[in-house]
Chain A
Amino acid sequence: DSGVTQTPKHLITATGQRVTLRCSPRSGDLSVYWYQQSLDQGLQFLIQYYNGEERAKGNILERFSAQQFPDLHSELNLSSLELGDSALYFCASSVSGGVTGELFFGEGSRLTVL
């Protein structure tokens, strides 16, 4: 158990809808990262927050947004969903801003868009 909690584990929705994925980092970790893993295995970095502030942005679509709250949990909002958004969405956390490179990943939220 990594200590990172993601909810929901599975989500099925229709095109055009909006969903919110939630992540609770390990106790004491200030950084939260969001990744998308497609069926062909690739891991795409979406966005990173550090202590409530956006730290780095990857290939995140404009239809997607995220935030980190004062209690350090984070939410990833996906809107106007398309079939191609079906994927595993991982949250990871680290103590610092990633200095050590050791990230702790949650079990993921599997999103299916029909």
Chain B
Amino acid sequence: AQSVAQPEDQVNVAEGNPLTVKCTYSVSGNPYLFWYVQYPNRGLQFLLKYITGDNLVKGSYGFEAEFNKSQTSFHLKKPSALVSDSALYFCAVREESDSNYQLIWGAGTKLIIKP
């Protein structure tokens, strides 16, 4: 069965420091991987995705994510955190061969950036 794990409920980072939000997945075939962000009192917004190709994917707001097939991970990163990056981050996966194209969502990680 497909699954996504975000092992940290909350990540605290000082402004200006690099940040990492972790995501691991389990699918039987090739994964399509996604990150979404939810700012307070807002809906989710698409950040970036990995379908194929370069393992390092760049997305919105200076975020990037690295696909690691051997570790079945897709961690979200940013070199220098901003207070405005404070939000809830969701990782999602779907299997390439899934004809229903259904996304499986992680539980979310709350990112808090302190000034």
| Contact surface of A with B, Cβ cutoff 8 Å | 2, 4, 41-43, 45, 48, 55-56, 90, 92, 96-108
Contact = CB atoms under 8 A, between A and B. Distances in A.
A90 to B, nearest CB: 6
Interface of B: 32, 34, 36, 41-46, 49, 88, 90, 92, 94, 100-103, 105, 107-108, 110
B49 A102 contact: yes
A107 B42 contact: yes
Given A43-B44, A105-B43, 18 more contacts: A2-B43, A41-B107, A41-B110, A42-B108, A56-B100, A56-B102, A90-B43, A96-B101, A98-B101, A98-B103, A99-B101, A101-B32, A101-B92, A101-B101, A102-B49, A103-B46, A104-B46, A105-B45
B4 to A, nearest CB: 11
Nearest to B43: A105
Contacts of A41: 88, 107-108, 110
A103 B102 contact: no
Nearest to A108: B43
Q: What secondary structure prevails in chain A residues at the interface with B? A: loop
Nearest to A99: B101
Nearest to B108: A41
Nearest to B44: A105
A80 B44 CA distance: 28
Contacts of A43: 44, 90, 105, 108
A8 to B, nearest CB: 15
Given A41-B88, A90-B43, A101 B108 contact: no
A105 B92 CA distance: 15
A20 B63 CA distance: 37
8 closest cross-chain pairs (CB), A and B: A105-B43, A98-B101, A105-B44, A41-B108, A43-B105, A102-B46, A107-B43, A56-B100
Contact of A45 (B36, B49, B105, B108): B105
